[in-house]
Amino acid sequence: MSFIPNKIFNPTGDDSVQSRTIIKGNTTGLFNLNNTKYTRAKSMYTVMIWNFRVPEKVSGLNEDSIQYKQELTDGEKRAYDGILSFLIFLDSIQTVNLPNFADYITAPEVQLLMSIQAYQEAIHSQSYATILESIVDANKRDEIYYFRRENSILLERNTYIGKIYEDFIENPNDENFFRGLIGNFLLEGLYFYNGFAFFDTLADHQKMKATDRMISYIRRDELTHVTMFTNILREIKKEFPAMWNEKLIYDMFTIAVEQEIKRTEHILGDNVIGINKNTTEKYTKRLANNRLWLLGLDPLYPEVTESPYQHLERLQDTNGEKTNFFESTVINYSQSNGMKWSREF
Ligand SMILES: [Fe+2]
Ligand SMILES: [Fe+2]
């Protein structure tokens, strides 16, 4: 079934709370944020707004610049560049693509969050620009931005994600929309995290601490994004059960986990103390299990029950706010905002 994007001016529409749905509603084009149906969205708004910060104000990047030149090994530099390159891509595609999905969301309170999200993704891009400006010269910066031109594994990865989004834009049907949502969910909830773990590991070794602080702010935002897509997906399951496709979810998770492990190993190799094939695999699978739990689904890797990076969790604290993303993560985080999660929904 094909989808029609929201009309921007539709005085005869009906977006009353009683008839409002997460998608496929009859929007009016008027943003009435006083009458809201999705109460979690309301709480999310506050959290997202309070996450505001200015990347240029993160201090210590000069020290990072000296460390990059004098203390990082060649392998660590390669990992630093390669991980940043992938993160830059992820945030770019989110900034560019989110409005395409928001056009089909028919609850103004959720559309509002997607606008804030797109803004935050753009701030993430600005954060990378600030990091790169401080750490490396102009030639190296370009190399990092366009690393995917030379690196086939990175290109394969980016192409997979890009195609999921392109497919929906070219052919906006139910299946492609649902695939796109799971793509967003994986991107926000899985793809970033080995990169984050890398920067945490460096910081744990007293290296590149300002970069890691910048990354912590980004992660804090990403956590709200994965929460938002969890909410959207849960609503879809309730309101449009025919669209909910468990096989597709598991298939996409399997591919994402394989690619994430392969890419991380390719970029990091055995060059960073504390990260190896085994930790990457465990971590990625543990994360996938956690994300499936959020969707009310059984783990894909029940044999993996612990994160190998528990010692890094203290680094995930920004302004006293814990952003640990395993059991406690989204659950505690949501509880603190009056939103209790349970697996059943
Ligand atoms: Fe982001
Ligand atoms: Fe995000």
Query: What's the gap in Å between 101 CA and the centre of ligand 1?
Result: 16
Beta bridge partners of 2: 173
Indicate which ligand has the atom closest to the C-alpha of 128: 1
Residue 51 has a pLDDT of 86
Query: What's the gap in Å between 55 CA and the centre of ligand 2?
Result: 16
CA–CA distance, 155 with 148 (Å, rounded to integer): 5
pLDDT tops 80 at residue 240: yes
**Per-residue pLDDT tens digits for 116-160:** 999 999 999 999 999 999 999 999 999 999 998 889 988 998 999
Indicate which ligand has the atom closest to the C-alpha of 218: 1
Model confidence band, residue 340 (pLDDT cutoffs 50, 70, 90): low
In a domain, 151, yes or no: yes
In a domain, 342, yes or no: no
Instruction: Average the pLDDT over 204-222 and give the result.
Output: 94
In a domain, 85, yes or no: yes
Please tell me the total count of domains within the chain. Answer: 1
In a domain, 343, yes or no: no
Contact 277, 289 (CB under 8 A): no
List 45, 68, 80, 128, catalytic entry: 128
Closest CA to 38 of 20, 14, 56: 20
Residue 1 has a pLDDT of 62
**Count of alpha carbons within 13 Å of 10, Cβ hemisphere only?**
14
pTM of the full structure: 0.92
In a domain, 299, yes or no: yes
Residue 265 has a pLDDT of 94
In a domain, 170, yes or no: yes
CA–CA distance, 76 with 180 (Å, rounded to integer): 34
In a domain, 9, yes or no: no
**Per-residue pLDDT tens digits for 41-70:** 988 999 899 888 899 999 999 999 999 999
**255: domain CATH number?**
1.10.620.20
In a domain, 119, yes or no: yes
Q: Is 128 a catalytic residue?
A: yes
Domain that holds residue 294: 39-335
